[in-house]
Structure 1
Amino acid sequence: MNQRMRKKRRRTTLWFALVCVIAVAAFMMIRYENSIASPPENTAEATNNPATEAPTGTPVPTDEPAQPSDEPTAPPAETTEPTPTNKPTEKPAKPTNKPTKAPAKDDSGIAVVAQPESIAALVNKQNKLPENYKPANLVYPDVPFTFKEKIDKRKMRKEAADALEDMFAGAKKDNIYLAGVSAYRSHATQKSLFERYVKKDGLEKAKTYSAFPGTSEHETGLAIDVSGSDGKCAASDCFGGTPEAEWLADHAAEYGFIIRYPDGKESITGYKYEPWHLRYVGTDISTEIAEKGITLEEYFNAVPVSK
Protein backbone atom coordinates (compact mmCIF):
# COMPACT_ATOMS: atom_id res chain seq x y z
CA MET A 1 0.00 0.00 0.00
CA ASN A 2 2.78 2.32 0.85
CA GLN A 3 4.66 1.48 -2.30
CA ARG A 4 1.61 2.20 -4.39
CA MET A 5 1.21 5.54 -2.72
CA ARG A 6 4.83 6.49 -3.43
CA LYS A 7 4.50 5.69 -7.15
CA LYS A 8 1.32 7.74 -7.37
CA ARG A 9 3.00 10.69 -5.64
CA ARG A 10 5.98 10.46 -8.02
CA ARG A 11 3.75 10.52 -11.09
CA THR A 12 1.94 13.52 -9.72
CA THR A 13 5.22 15.34 -9.21
CA LEU A 14 6.37 14.54 -12.74
CA TRP A 15 3.09 15.72 -14.24
CA PHE A 16 3.31 18.92 -12.24
CA ALA A 17 6.84 19.55 -13.43
CA LEU A 18 5.84 18.85 -17.03
CA VAL A 19 2.92 21.26 -16.77
CA CYS A 20 5.24 23.93 -15.38
CA VAL A 21 7.71 23.44 -18.20
CA ILE A 22 4.92 23.67 -20.80
CA ALA A 23 3.54 26.79 -19.14
CA VAL A 24 6.89 28.48 -19.10
CA ALA A 25 7.52 27.56 -22.76
CA ALA A 26 4.13 28.92 -23.76
CA PHE A 27 4.81 32.15 -21.91
CA MET A 28 8.13 32.63 -23.67
CA MET A 29 6.61 31.99 -27.11
CA ILE A 30 3.90 34.56 -26.48
CA ARG A 31 6.50 37.18 -25.48
CA TYR A 32 8.58 36.47 -28.58
CA GLU A 33 5.58 36.79 -30.95
CA ASN A 34 4.59 40.10 -29.34
CA SER A 35 8.10 41.53 -29.80
CA ILE A 36 8.06 40.66 -33.51
CA ALA A 37 4.63 42.12 -34.14
CA SER A 38 5.36 45.47 -32.42
CA PRO A 39 7.04 48.24 -34.65
CA PRO A 40 10.62 49.18 -33.57
CA GLU A 41 11.13 52.37 -31.61
CA ASN A 42 13.01 55.31 -33.24
CA THR A 43 16.64 54.61 -32.37
CA ALA A 44 18.24 56.69 -35.16
CA GLU A 45 20.06 58.87 -32.69
CA ALA A 46 21.63 55.85 -31.00
CA THR A 47 22.66 53.96 -34.14
CA ASN A 48 25.99 54.33 -35.94
CA ASN A 49 24.62 53.19 -39.32
CA PRO A 50 24.22 56.06 -41.84
CA ALA A 51 20.81 56.79 -43.36
CA THR A 52 20.32 55.25 -46.79
CA GLU A 53 17.67 57.62 -48.06
CA ALA A 54 18.65 60.93 -49.70
CA PRO A 55 17.44 64.03 -47.87
CA THR A 56 14.55 65.88 -49.39
CA GLY A 57 13.84 69.57 -49.41
CA THR A 58 16.23 72.36 -48.57
CA PRO A 59 18.95 71.25 -46.15
CA VAL A 60 19.01 73.19 -42.94
CA PRO A 61 22.49 73.65 -41.50
CA THR A 62 22.73 72.34 -37.99
CA ASP A 63 26.28 73.40 -37.10
CA GLU A 64 26.83 76.83 -35.71
CA PRO A 65 29.59 78.90 -37.34
CA ALA A 66 32.93 78.58 -35.64
CA GLN A 67 33.71 81.39 -33.24
CA PRO A 68 36.90 83.38 -33.93
CA SER A 69 39.86 82.35 -31.82
CA ASP A 70 41.60 84.79 -29.52
CA GLU A 71 44.96 83.16 -30.23
CA PRO A 72 47.13 84.87 -32.94
CA THR A 73 47.32 83.11 -36.23
CA ALA A 74 50.86 82.26 -37.38
CA PRO A 75 51.85 84.18 -40.55
CA PRO A 76 52.28 82.09 -43.70
CA ALA A 77 55.82 80.89 -44.37
CA GLU A 78 57.71 82.92 -46.92
CA THR A 79 58.54 81.19 -50.15
CA THR A 80 62.10 81.07 -51.40
CA GLU A 81 61.22 80.50 -55.03
CA PRO A 82 62.49 83.31 -57.29
CA THR A 83 59.92 85.58 -58.84
CA PRO A 84 59.91 85.12 -62.62
CA THR A 85 60.69 88.18 -64.66
CA ASN A 86 60.59 89.00 -68.32
CA LYS A 87 63.43 91.47 -68.09
CA PRO A 88 66.68 90.30 -69.69
CA THR A 89 69.63 89.76 -67.37
CA GLU A 90 72.17 92.54 -67.65
CA LYS A 91 75.61 91.51 -68.84
CA PRO A 92 78.48 92.30 -66.44
CA ALA A 93 80.56 95.29 -67.34
CA LYS A 94 83.80 94.51 -69.11
CA PRO A 95 86.70 94.86 -66.68
CA THR A 96 89.16 97.63 -67.33
CA ASN A 97 92.56 98.60 -66.00
CA LYS A 98 91.79 102.29 -66.31
CA PRO A 99 91.17 104.17 -63.04
CA THR A 100 87.51 105.18 -62.73
CA LYS A 101 87.59 107.81 -60.00
CA ALA A 102 88.38 111.45 -60.71
CA PRO A 103 91.43 112.72 -58.79
CA ALA A 104 91.05 115.36 -56.09
CA LYS A 105 93.52 118.21 -55.63
CA ASP A 106 95.60 118.99 -52.56
CA ASP A 107 96.60 122.39 -51.19
CA SER A 108 99.37 122.74 -53.76
CA GLY A 109 96.89 122.37 -56.63
CA ILE A 110 98.33 119.02 -57.73
CA ALA A 111 95.73 116.31 -58.32
CA VAL A 112 95.86 113.33 -55.95
CA VAL A 113 95.58 109.94 -57.64
CA ALA A 114 92.21 108.44 -56.65
CA GLN A 115 93.18 104.82 -57.28
CA PRO A 116 96.91 104.53 -56.61
CA GLU A 117 96.66 100.73 -56.45
CA SER A 118 95.62 100.51 -60.12
CA ILE A 119 98.38 99.23 -62.41
CA ALA A 120 97.30 101.93 -64.86
CA ALA A 121 97.44 104.82 -62.38
CA LEU A 122 98.77 107.99 -64.01
CA VAL A 123 101.49 109.43 -61.76
CA ASN A 124 103.33 112.52 -63.03
CA LYS A 125 104.02 116.15 -62.18
CA GLN A 126 100.29 116.89 -62.24
CA ASN A 127 99.09 113.75 -60.44
CA LYS A 128 100.61 112.77 -57.11
CA LEU A 129 100.18 109.78 -54.84
CA PRO A 130 98.26 110.15 -51.55
CA GLU A 131 100.27 111.10 -48.48
CA ASN A 132 101.96 108.13 -46.79
CA TYR A 133 100.98 105.81 -49.65
CA LYS A 134 102.83 102.51 -49.68
CA PRO A 135 102.02 99.81 -52.25
CA ALA A 136 100.92 96.41 -51.02
CA ASN A 137 102.47 93.02 -51.85
CA LEU A 138 106.00 94.23 -52.54
CA VAL A 139 108.33 91.33 -53.36
CA TYR A 140 111.86 90.73 -54.58
CA PRO A 141 111.81 89.76 -58.29
CA ASP A 142 114.10 86.85 -59.08
CA VAL A 143 116.32 88.73 -61.54
CA PRO A 144 119.91 90.04 -61.38
CA PHE A 145 120.59 93.58 -60.16
CA THR A 146 123.69 95.73 -60.41
CA PHE A 147 124.14 95.32 -56.62
CA LYS A 148 123.94 92.35 -54.28
CA GLU A 149 122.14 93.76 -51.25
CA LYS A 150 118.47 92.84 -50.65
CA ILE A 151 117.20 96.33 -50.02
CA ASP A 152 113.98 98.19 -50.82
CA LYS A 153 115.03 99.35 -54.27
CA ARG A 154 115.03 95.73 -55.45
CA LYS A 155 111.34 95.37 -54.63
CA MET A 156 108.36 95.60 -56.97
CA ARG A 157 104.68 94.84 -56.71
CA LYS A 158 104.00 91.14 -57.22
CA GLU A 159 102.32 91.47 -60.63
CA ALA A 160 105.12 93.69 -61.93
CA ALA A 161 107.83 91.43 -60.46
CA ASP A 162 106.35 88.37 -62.18
CA ALA A 163 106.24 90.19 -65.52
CA LEU A 164 109.83 91.41 -65.03
CA GLU A 165 111.06 87.85 -64.49
CA ASP A 166 109.35 86.76 -67.72
CA MET A 167 110.85 89.69 -69.63
CA PHE A 168 114.40 89.03 -68.41
CA ALA A 169 113.99 85.36 -69.37
CA GLY A 170 112.73 86.38 -72.82
CA ALA A 171 115.69 88.71 -73.32
CA LYS A 172 118.11 85.97 -72.29
CA LYS A 173 116.74 83.72 -75.05
CA ASP A 174 117.75 86.48 -77.48
CA ASN A 175 121.21 86.71 -75.89
CA ILE A 176 120.34 89.99 -74.18
CA TYR A 177 121.34 90.07 -70.52
CA LEU A 178 119.59 92.67 -68.41
CA ALA A 179 120.00 93.84 -64.82
CA GLY A 180 117.87 95.92 -62.49
CA VAL A 181 119.23 99.24 -61.25
CA SER A 182 116.48 100.75 -59.08
CA ALA A 183 112.85 99.77 -58.53
CA TYR A 184 110.72 100.77 -55.51
CA ARG A 185 111.48 103.89 -53.53
CA SER A 186 109.71 105.05 -50.42
CA HIS A 187 108.45 108.62 -50.16
CA ALA A 188 111.29 109.43 -47.75
CA THR A 189 113.92 108.01 -50.10
CA GLN A 190 112.53 109.96 -53.07
CA LYS A 191 112.51 113.14 -50.98
CA SER A 192 116.14 112.67 -49.98
CA LEU A 193 117.17 111.87 -53.56
CA PHE A 194 115.36 114.87 -55.04
CA GLU A 195 116.88 117.25 -52.50
CA ARG A 196 120.33 115.95 -53.36
CA TYR A 197 119.76 116.60 -57.07
CA VAL A 198 118.43 120.10 -56.35
CA LYS A 199 121.51 120.86 -54.30
CA LYS A 200 123.73 119.58 -57.09
CA ASP A 201 122.06 121.02 -60.22
CA GLY A 202 119.44 123.49 -59.00
CA LEU A 203 115.67 123.09 -58.87
CA GLU A 204 114.80 123.71 -62.53
CA LYS A 205 117.34 121.27 -63.91
CA ALA A 206 116.61 118.67 -61.23
CA LYS A 207 112.93 118.70 -62.20
CA THR A 208 113.83 117.58 -65.75
CA TYR A 209 115.19 114.22 -64.63
CA SER A 210 113.97 113.66 -61.06
CA ALA A 211 110.46 113.66 -59.63
CA PHE A 212 109.21 115.76 -56.78
CA PRO A 213 108.36 113.50 -53.77
CA GLY A 214 104.92 111.94 -54.23
CA THR A 215 105.02 112.24 -58.02
CA SER A 216 107.63 109.55 -58.69
CA GLU A 217 106.53 106.33 -60.40
CA HIS A 218 109.13 104.49 -58.34
CA GLU A 219 106.87 105.05 -55.32
CA THR A 220 104.15 102.93 -56.98
CA GLY A 221 106.24 99.75 -57.00
CA LEU A 222 105.45 99.42 -60.72
CA ALA A 223 108.54 101.13 -62.20
CA ILE A 224 112.16 100.04 -62.57
CA ASP A 225 115.35 101.38 -64.12
CA VAL A 226 117.13 98.72 -66.20
CA SER A 227 120.61 98.40 -67.69
CA GLY A 228 122.80 95.75 -69.23
CA SER A 229 124.14 93.06 -66.90
CA ASP A 230 127.55 94.79 -66.84
CA GLY A 231 125.99 97.89 -65.26
CA LYS A 232 127.57 100.22 -67.78
CA CYS A 233 125.51 103.27 -68.70
CA ALA A 234 123.09 102.48 -65.85
CA ALA A 235 120.48 105.27 -65.73
CA SER A 236 122.63 107.30 -68.12
CA ASP A 237 122.08 108.78 -71.56
CA CYS A 238 124.65 106.37 -73.02
CA PHE A 239 122.21 103.49 -72.42
CA GLY A 240 120.20 104.67 -75.43
CA GLY A 241 121.27 102.85 -78.60
CA THR A 242 122.71 99.84 -76.76
CA PRO A 243 121.48 96.35 -77.73
CA GLU A 244 119.70 96.15 -74.38
CA ALA A 245 117.86 99.46 -74.93
CA GLU A 246 116.87 98.46 -78.46
CA TRP A 247 115.57 95.09 -77.29
CA LEU A 248 113.49 96.76 -74.58
CA ALA A 249 112.04 99.24 -77.08
CA ASP A 250 110.99 96.35 -79.33
CA HIS A 251 109.79 93.79 -76.76
CA ALA A 252 108.94 95.42 -73.41
CA ALA A 253 105.28 95.86 -74.40
CA GLU A 254 104.95 92.08 -74.87
CA TYR A 255 105.40 91.73 -71.12
CA GLY A 256 103.21 94.66 -70.01
CA PHE A 257 105.95 97.32 -69.76
CA ILE A 258 106.32 100.65 -71.56
CA ILE A 259 109.24 103.03 -72.05
CA ARG A 260 107.64 105.63 -69.82
CA TYR A 261 109.58 108.67 -71.07
CA PRO A 262 110.17 108.14 -74.81
CA ASP A 263 112.32 110.28 -77.04
CA GLY A 264 110.63 113.39 -78.45
CA LYS A 265 107.79 113.41 -75.88
CA GLU A 266 109.39 115.65 -73.27
CA SER A 267 106.72 118.34 -73.65
CA ILE A 268 104.04 115.75 -72.82
CA THR A 269 105.68 113.70 -70.07
CA GLY A 270 107.67 116.52 -68.50
CA TYR A 271 110.89 114.47 -68.49
CA LYS A 272 113.77 114.01 -70.88
CA TYR A 273 114.22 110.74 -72.75
CA GLU A 274 114.91 107.83 -70.38
CA PRO A 275 115.23 104.54 -72.32
CA TRP A 276 116.04 102.71 -69.08
CA HIS A 277 112.89 103.71 -67.17
CA LEU A 278 110.19 101.04 -67.52
CA ARG A 279 106.66 101.17 -66.14
CA TYR A 280 104.36 98.17 -65.77
CA VAL A 281 100.79 98.83 -66.97
CA GLY A 282 99.66 95.38 -68.13
CA THR A 283 99.75 93.96 -71.65
CA ASP A 284 96.44 95.47 -72.81
CA ILE A 285 97.60 99.05 -72.28
CA SER A 286 101.27 98.46 -73.15
CA THR A 287 100.32 96.90 -76.50
CA GLU A 288 98.08 99.82 -77.46
CA ILE A 289 100.66 102.41 -76.40
CA ALA A 290 103.42 100.65 -78.37
CA GLU A 291 101.28 100.26 -81.49
CA LYS A 292 100.21 103.92 -81.47
CA GLY A 293 103.58 105.31 -80.37
CA ILE A 294 102.00 107.37 -77.60
CA THR A 295 102.66 108.09 -73.93
CA LEU A 296 100.59 107.18 -70.88
CA GLU A 297 99.40 110.81 -70.76
CA GLU A 298 98.15 110.55 -74.34
CA TYR A 299 96.54 107.20 -73.62
CA PHE A 300 94.40 108.87 -70.95
CA ASN A 301 93.94 112.07 -72.99
CA ALA A 302 95.56 113.91 -70.10
CA VAL A 303 96.72 117.51 -70.36
CA PRO A 304 100.42 117.60 -71.34
CA VAL A 305 102.63 118.32 -68.35
CA SER A 306 104.11 121.38 -70.07
CA LYS A 307 100.70 123.05 -70.46
Structure 2
Amino acid sequence: MPGQHVKTHIAMIVCVCLCLLAYLSWFSPEPDLSTSAPVSDSDSATRAAASEGAASGTAPTPAFVPTPDPESKAGAPAPDYDSAQSLTVVVNKHRPLTDRAYVPADLADAAGVPLRAEAASAYLQMSVDAAAAGVGLTAVSGFRAADAQGLLHDSYTTNYGVSTAEAISARAGFSEHQTGLAVDIGNNDGACSLQSCFAATPAGAWAAANAHRYGFIIRYPDGAEHITGFTYEPWHLRYVGPDVAQKLFDAGITLEEYAGLPAAPGY
Protein backbone atom coordinates (compact mmCIF):
# COMPACT_ATOMS: atom_id res chain seq x y z
CA MET A 1 0.00 0.00 0.00
CA PRO A 2 1.41 3.37 -0.92
CA GLY A 3 2.57 5.42 2.08
CA GLN A 4 0.14 8.22 1.38
CA HIS A 5 -2.82 5.86 1.60
CA VAL A 6 -1.57 4.39 4.92
CA LYS A 7 -1.36 7.85 6.51
CA THR A 8 -4.81 8.71 5.29
CA HIS A 9 -6.21 5.46 6.67
CA ILE A 10 -4.62 6.03 10.15
CA ALA A 11 -5.95 9.56 10.26
CA MET A 12 -9.47 8.33 9.58
CA ILE A 13 -9.23 5.70 12.37
CA VAL A 14 -7.99 8.31 14.90
CA CYS A 15 -10.80 10.64 13.89
CA VAL A 16 -13.42 7.91 14.38
CA CYS A 17 -12.00 7.05 17.83
CA LEU A 18 -12.05 10.67 18.93
CA CYS A 19 -15.63 11.06 17.77
CA LEU A 20 -16.64 7.89 19.66
CA LEU A 21 -15.01 9.11 22.90
CA ALA A 22 -16.76 12.44 22.62
CA TYR A 23 -20.11 10.74 22.07
CA LEU A 24 -19.68 8.47 25.13
CA SER A 25 -18.62 11.38 27.32
CA TRP A 26 -21.61 13.48 26.26
CA PHE A 27 -24.29 10.86 26.84
CA SER A 28 -22.96 9.11 30.01
CA PRO A 29 -25.75 9.24 32.72
CA GLU A 30 -25.12 11.08 36.01
CA PRO A 31 -25.20 9.06 39.29
CA ASP A 32 -28.75 8.38 40.57
CA LEU A 33 -28.76 9.89 44.08
CA SER A 34 -32.15 8.33 44.79
CA THR A 35 -30.51 4.90 45.06
CA SER A 36 -28.31 5.94 48.00
CA ALA A 37 -29.18 4.98 51.61
CA PRO A 38 -32.66 6.24 52.58
CA VAL A 39 -32.84 9.28 54.86
CA SER A 40 -35.40 9.26 57.67
CA ASP A 41 -37.49 12.28 58.59
CA SER A 42 -35.51 12.72 61.77
CA ASP A 43 -32.21 12.60 59.84
CA SER A 44 -33.51 15.22 57.42
CA ALA A 45 -34.60 17.44 60.28
CA THR A 46 -31.27 16.99 62.03
CA ARG A 47 -29.34 17.87 58.90
CA ALA A 48 -31.51 20.89 58.26
CA ALA A 49 -31.03 22.03 61.86
CA ALA A 50 -27.30 21.51 61.54
CA SER A 51 -27.21 23.61 58.37
CA GLU A 52 -29.18 26.39 60.05
CA GLY A 53 -26.92 26.21 63.10
CA ALA A 54 -23.81 26.40 60.98
CA ALA A 55 -25.20 29.42 59.17
CA SER A 56 -26.23 31.23 62.36
CA GLY A 57 -23.34 30.13 64.53
CA THR A 58 -25.66 28.58 67.15
CA ALA A 59 -25.96 24.99 68.25
CA PRO A 60 -28.66 23.05 66.38
CA THR A 61 -31.82 21.99 68.22
CA PRO A 62 -32.12 18.18 68.41
CA ALA A 63 -35.00 16.85 66.35
CA PHE A 64 -35.61 13.91 68.71
CA VAL A 65 -37.41 14.52 72.03
CA PRO A 66 -37.25 11.54 74.46
CA THR A 67 -40.51 10.20 75.87
CA PRO A 68 -40.63 10.70 79.66
CA ASP A 69 -40.14 7.59 81.76
CA PRO A 70 -43.52 6.67 83.33
CA GLU A 71 -41.74 5.67 86.52
CA SER A 72 -40.37 9.18 86.94
CA LYS A 73 -43.76 10.84 87.04
CA ALA A 74 -44.58 12.44 90.35
CA GLY A 75 -47.32 10.78 92.38
CA ALA A 76 -48.28 9.48 95.76
CA PRO A 77 -46.66 6.19 96.79
CA ALA A 78 -48.81 3.09 96.90
CA PRO A 79 -50.30 2.35 100.34
CA ASP A 80 -48.28 0.00 102.52
CA TYR A 81 -50.55 -2.69 103.97
CA ASP A 82 -47.78 -4.86 105.42
CA SER A 83 -45.42 -2.81 107.59
CA ALA A 84 -46.41 -2.39 111.23
CA GLN A 85 -45.23 1.23 111.06
CA SER A 86 -47.55 2.03 108.13
CA LEU A 87 -50.73 4.00 108.78
CA THR A 88 -52.54 1.66 106.38
CA VAL A 89 -51.23 -1.65 107.73
CA VAL A 90 -53.90 -4.36 107.59
CA VAL A 91 -53.97 -6.59 110.65
CA ASN A 92 -56.57 -9.35 110.80
CA LYS A 93 -56.93 -13.07 111.47
CA HIS A 94 -54.92 -13.87 108.35
CA ARG A 95 -52.36 -11.10 108.78
CA PRO A 96 -50.59 -10.99 112.17
CA LEU A 97 -47.89 -8.47 112.92
CA THR A 98 -44.54 -9.78 111.73
CA ASP A 99 -42.93 -8.72 115.00
CA ARG A 100 -45.12 -10.13 117.77
CA ALA A 101 -43.33 -7.87 120.27
CA TYR A 102 -43.86 -4.71 118.21
CA VAL A 103 -44.31 -1.45 120.14
CA PRO A 104 -44.71 1.83 118.22
CA ALA A 105 -41.84 4.24 118.78
CA ASP A 106 -44.00 7.37 118.70
CA LEU A 107 -46.73 6.68 121.25
CA ALA A 108 -48.41 9.81 122.61
CA ASP A 109 -51.20 10.57 125.05
CA ALA A 110 -54.68 10.77 123.56
CA ALA A 111 -56.89 11.92 126.42
CA GLY A 112 -55.73 9.15 128.72
CA VAL A 113 -54.84 6.35 126.31
CA PRO A 114 -51.65 5.86 124.24
CA LEU A 115 -51.84 6.12 120.43
CA ARG A 116 -49.39 6.73 117.62
CA ALA A 117 -48.57 10.44 117.56
CA GLU A 118 -50.50 11.24 114.38
CA ALA A 119 -53.53 9.26 115.50
CA ALA A 120 -53.40 10.87 118.95
CA SER A 121 -53.35 14.36 117.46
CA ALA A 122 -56.28 13.52 115.18
CA TYR A 123 -58.26 12.02 118.06
CA LEU A 124 -57.73 15.05 120.28
CA GLN A 125 -58.95 17.37 117.53
CA MET A 126 -61.95 15.13 116.93
CA SER A 127 -62.81 15.24 120.63
CA VAL A 128 -62.60 19.03 120.67
CA ASP A 129 -64.88 19.34 117.64
CA ALA A 130 -67.34 16.79 119.03
CA ALA A 131 -67.53 18.73 122.29
CA ALA A 132 -68.18 21.93 120.34
CA ALA A 133 -71.12 20.10 118.75
CA GLY A 134 -72.40 19.11 122.19
CA VAL A 135 -71.14 15.51 122.09
CA GLY A 136 -68.77 14.09 124.67
CA LEU A 137 -66.25 11.45 123.56
CA THR A 138 -64.24 9.28 125.92
CA ALA A 139 -61.19 7.25 124.93
CA VAL A 140 -61.65 3.81 126.52
CA SER A 141 -58.55 2.01 125.24
CA GLY A 142 -55.74 2.56 122.78
CA PHE A 143 -52.39 0.80 122.33
CA ARG A 144 -52.26 -2.67 123.83
CA ALA A 145 -49.10 -4.78 123.90
CA ALA A 146 -49.16 -8.40 122.74
CA ASP A 147 -48.96 -9.82 126.27
CA ALA A 148 -51.88 -7.70 127.45
CA GLN A 149 -53.88 -8.70 124.37
CA GLY A 150 -53.21 -12.35 125.08
CA LEU A 151 -54.44 -12.04 128.66
CA LEU A 152 -57.60 -10.27 127.48
CA HIS A 153 -58.32 -12.94 124.88
CA ASP A 154 -57.78 -15.68 127.47
CA SER A 155 -60.21 -14.01 129.86
CA TYR A 156 -62.88 -13.77 127.16
CA THR A 157 -62.34 -17.42 126.29
CA THR A 158 -62.76 -18.42 129.94
CA ASN A 159 -65.84 -16.26 130.47
CA TYR A 160 -67.67 -16.62 127.15
CA GLY A 161 -66.24 -19.67 125.41
CA VAL A 162 -63.96 -20.02 122.42
CA SER A 163 -66.52 -19.16 119.71
CA THR A 164 -67.60 -15.88 121.30
CA ALA A 165 -64.08 -14.92 122.31
CA GLU A 166 -62.85 -15.36 118.73
CA ALA A 167 -65.63 -13.10 117.45
CA ILE A 168 -65.03 -10.23 119.87
CA SER A 169 -61.32 -10.36 120.66
CA ALA A 170 -58.13 -10.87 118.66
CA ARG A 171 -55.38 -13.24 119.66
CA ALA A 172 -52.00 -11.89 120.72
CA GLY A 173 -50.13 -10.56 117.70
CA PHE A 174 -53.30 -10.27 115.63
CA SER A 175 -54.75 -7.13 117.22
CA GLU A 176 -54.99 -3.68 115.68
CA HIS A 177 -54.58 -2.21 119.15
CA GLN A 178 -50.94 -3.29 119.06
CA THR A 179 -50.31 -0.97 116.12
CA GLY A 180 -51.24 2.07 118.20
CA LEU A 181 -53.70 3.10 115.51
CA ALA A 182 -56.91 1.73 117.06
CA VAL A 183 -58.96 3.44 119.76
CA ASP A 184 -62.14 2.28 121.47
CA ILE A 185 -64.40 5.22 122.28
CA GLY A 186 -67.42 5.74 124.49
CA ASN A 187 -69.84 8.32 125.85
CA ASN A 188 -68.82 10.44 128.81
CA ASP A 189 -71.59 8.85 130.85
CA GLY A 190 -70.56 5.31 129.87
CA ALA A 191 -73.83 4.55 128.07
CA CYS A 192 -73.63 1.34 125.99
CA SER A 193 -69.88 1.09 126.52
CA LEU A 194 -68.37 -1.54 124.20
CA GLN A 195 -71.82 -2.68 123.11
CA SER A 196 -73.55 -2.58 119.74
CA CYS A 197 -76.16 -0.17 121.14
CA PHE A 198 -73.34 2.41 121.25
CA ALA A 199 -74.17 3.19 117.62
CA ALA A 200 -77.45 4.85 118.66
CA THR A 201 -75.88 7.02 121.38
CA PRO A 202 -74.72 10.62 120.78
CA ALA A 203 -71.04 9.65 120.67
CA GLY A 204 -71.69 6.65 118.43
CA ALA A 205 -73.85 8.55 115.96
CA TRP A 206 -71.48 11.52 115.80
CA ALA A 207 -68.43 9.29 115.27
CA ALA A 208 -70.16 7.31 112.51
CA ALA A 209 -70.94 10.53 110.64
CA ASN A 210 -67.71 12.45 111.26
CA ALA A 211 -64.78 10.23 112.28
CA HIS A 212 -63.58 9.86 108.68
CA ARG A 213 -62.94 13.60 108.50
CA TYR A 214 -60.19 13.08 111.07
CA GLY A 215 -58.75 9.94 109.47
CA PHE A 216 -60.67 7.30 111.43
CA ILE A 217 -62.89 4.51 110.14
CA ILE A 218 -65.26 2.14 111.93
CA ARG A 219 -63.02 -0.84 111.42
CA TYR A 220 -65.60 -3.57 112.02
CA PRO A 221 -68.83 -2.32 110.41
CA ASP A 222 -72.23 -3.93 110.68
CA GLY A 223 -72.77 -6.77 108.22
CA ALA A 224 -69.06 -7.26 107.44
CA GLU A 225 -68.32 -10.01 109.94
CA HIS A 226 -67.64 -12.47 107.11
CA ILE A 227 -64.87 -10.16 105.90
CA THR A 228 -63.32 -8.71 109.05
CA GLY A 229 -63.78 -11.76 111.26
CA PHE A 230 -65.24 -9.72 114.11
CA THR A 231 -68.74 -8.73 115.18
CA TYR A 232 -70.00 -5.19 114.68
CA GLU A 233 -68.02 -2.78 116.87
CA PRO A 234 -69.25 0.81 116.36
CA TRP A 235 -66.88 1.94 119.12
CA HIS A 236 -63.69 0.57 117.53
CA LEU A 237 -62.08 3.30 115.41
CA ARG A 238 -58.98 2.76 113.34
CA TYR A 239 -56.74 5.58 112.08
CA VAL A 240 -55.77 5.32 108.40
CA GLY A 241 -55.39 9.01 107.53
CA PRO A 242 -58.01 11.42 106.15
CA ASP A 243 -57.58 10.52 102.46
CA VAL A 244 -58.03 6.77 102.86
CA ALA A 245 -60.74 7.21 105.49
CA GLN A 246 -62.73 9.43 103.13
CA LYS A 247 -62.50 6.84 100.35
CA LEU A 248 -63.67 4.01 102.60
CA PHE A 249 -66.48 6.14 103.97
CA ASP A 250 -67.69 7.15 100.51
CA ALA A 251 -67.52 3.59 99.18
CA GLY A 252 -68.95 1.97 102.29
CA ILE A 253 -66.33 -0.78 102.28
CA THR A 254 -63.93 -2.43 104.71
CA LEU A 255 -60.18 -1.95 104.84
CA GLU A 256 -59.72 -5.45 103.42
CA GLU A 257 -61.88 -4.60 100.41
CA TYR A 258 -60.10 -1.30 99.86
CA ALA A 259 -56.70 -3.03 99.94
CA GLY A 260 -57.88 -5.83 97.66
CA LEU A 261 -57.13 -8.46 100.29
CA PRO A 262 -59.09 -11.66 100.91
CA ALA A 263 -61.65 -11.89 103.67
CA ALA A 264 -60.39 -13.12 107.03
CA PRO A 265 -63.33 -14.66 108.89
CA GLY A 266 -61.11 -17.02 110.88
CA TYR A 267 -57.53 -17.92 111.72
Is TM (by shorter chain) over 0.5? Answer: yes
- Aligned residues of 1:263 and 1:273 also touching (Cα < 8 A): yes
**1:219 matched to 2:188:** no
Amino acid at match of 2:221: P
Q: Distance in 2 between matches of 1:230 and 1:158?
A: 27
Q: Distance in 2 between matches of 1:171 and 1:251?
A: 9
Corresponding residue for 2:241?
282
Aligned length: 201
Q: Which of 1 and 2 has greater Rg?
A: 1
Q: Distance in 2 between matches of 1:87 and 1:165?
A: 50
Corresponding residue for 1:294?
253
Question: 5+ residue gaps in structure 1?
Answer: 1-84, 101-113, 146-153
Corresponding residue for 1:95?
76
Following superposition, the deviation at residue 229 of structure 1 comes to 1.2
Q: Distance in 2 between matches of 1:221 and 1:176?
A: 24
Superposed CA offset, 1:244-287 (max 9, x none): 11111100000000000111111111111100000000011100
Corresponding residue for 2:117?
158
- Aligned residues of 1:180 and 1:225 also touching (Cα < 8 A): yes
Q: Aligned to 2:142, which of 172, 183, 199?
A: 183
Q: Distance in 2 between matches of 1:188 and 1:237?
A: 26
**1:137 matched to 2:106:** yes
Query: Is the alpha carbon distance of 1:87 and 1:94 closer, same or farther for their aligned partners in structure 2, counting shifts above 3 Å?
Result: same
Structure 2 SS opposite 1:128: coil
Amino acid at match of 1:136: A
Q: What fraction of aligned residue pairs are identical, expressed as a percent?
A: 40
Following superposition, the deviation at residue 237 of structure 1 comes to 2.4
Superposed CA offset, 1:50-106 (max 9, x none): xxxxxxxxxxxxxxxxxxxxxxxxxxxxxxxxxxx9656654542236117xxxxxx
- Bigger helix share: 2
**1:193 matched to 2:174:** no
Structure 2 SS opposite 1:207: helix
- Aligned residues of 2:143 and 2:181 also touching (Cα < 8 A): yes
Corresponding residue for 1:117?
85
Corresponding residue for 2:96?
128
Q: Distance in 2 between matches of 1:88 and 1:94?
A: 18
Query: Is the alpha carbon distance of 1:93 and 1:129 closer, same or farther for their aligned partners in structure 2, counting shifts above 3 Å?
Result: farther
- Aligned residues of 1:97 and 1:119 also touching (Cα < 8 A): no
Q: Distance in 2 between matches of 1:306 and 1:164?
A: 29
Q: Distance in 2 between matches of 1:283 and 1:238?
A: 26
Structure 2 SS opposite 1:179: strand
After the TM superposition, list the runs of 4 or more consecutive aligned residues in structure 1 that deviate by more than 6 angstroms: none
Query: Is the alpha carbon distance of 1:257 and 1:279 closer, same or farther for their aligned partners in structure 2, counting shifts above 3 Å?
Result: same
RMSD of equivalent CA atoms: 1.9
Structure 2 SS opposite 1:127: coil
Q: Distance in 2 between matches of 1:291 and 1:124?
A: 22
**Structure possessing the higher relative contact order (Cα contacts under 8 Å, 6 or more residues apart):** 2
Structure 1 SS opposite 2:190: coil
Corresponding residue for 1:174?
133
Superposed CA offset, 1:146-199 (max 9, x none): xxxxxxxx1000010011011111111211110100000001100111111111
Amino acid at match of 2:92: N
Q: Distance in 2 between matches of 1:97 and 1:244?
A: 33
Q: Distance in 2 between matches of 1:301 and 1:213?
A: 25
Question: 5+ residue gaps in structure 2?
Answer: 1-63
- Aligned residues of 1:163 and 1:255 also touching (Cα < 8 A): yes
- Give the TM-score normalised by structure 1: 0.62
Give matches, 1:60-99, under 5 Å: 87=66, 91-96=72-77, 98-99=79-80
Following superposition, the deviation at residue 200 of structure 1 comes to 1.1
